[in-house]
Amino acid sequence: MENLLFLRLAVAAIFIYHAIPKLKEPKNMASGIGWTPNKVLALGLVEFVSGLGIAGGIAVKLSASLLIAVMLGAIYYKMSKWNVPFSAHDKTGWELDLLLLTANLTIFLRY
C-alpha cells in the first residue's frame, strides 16, 4: 500500500517521538497524569513498537489497531477525566488526537 507511505511515516514519527519520554522517564510522566510508572512505560512501548511497525510495513493492521486504542483512550481521558476542550489556546485540545485516530483508522482499513 505505497499510496499510504507518507501517512504511515508521519503517524509513525509522531508516535515514536511521543513514546521516547515515556520510555526514558516514566516516573515524570506518571506523576503528571496520575498513572503508575509501569502503565506509562507500557503505553510508551506500545506507541514505540507500533510506530516502528507502521513505518516499516510490518504488522501494520495490528500496529494501527493498537494505536487506535491508544487514541481512543487519550480522547476519553481528555474529554471526561481532564475536561480538556476540543481546541484551546492555552493547552493542547483533543483535535490532534482525533486526527491521529482517523489516520490510524485509515491505515487499518486500507491494509
Range of weakest confidence among 5-9, 47-51, 53-57, 86-90: 86-90
pLDDT band at 33 (very low <50, low <70, confident <90, very high): confident
- Structural domain including 81 reads 2-110
By the 10 Å C-beta count (0-12 exposed, 13-18 middle, 19+ buried), 18 is classed as middle
Dist. CA 107–CA 99, nearest whole Å: 12
What mean pLDDT comes out for the span 64-70?
99
Buried b (16+ CB within 10 A) or exposed e, 77-87: bbeeeeebeee
- For residue 64, the one-letter residue type is A
pLDDT band at 90 (very low <50, low <70, confident <90, very high): confident
Model's pTM, two decimal places? 0.93
Dist. CA 43–CA 32, nearest whole Å: 14
Give the number of domains in the chain.
1
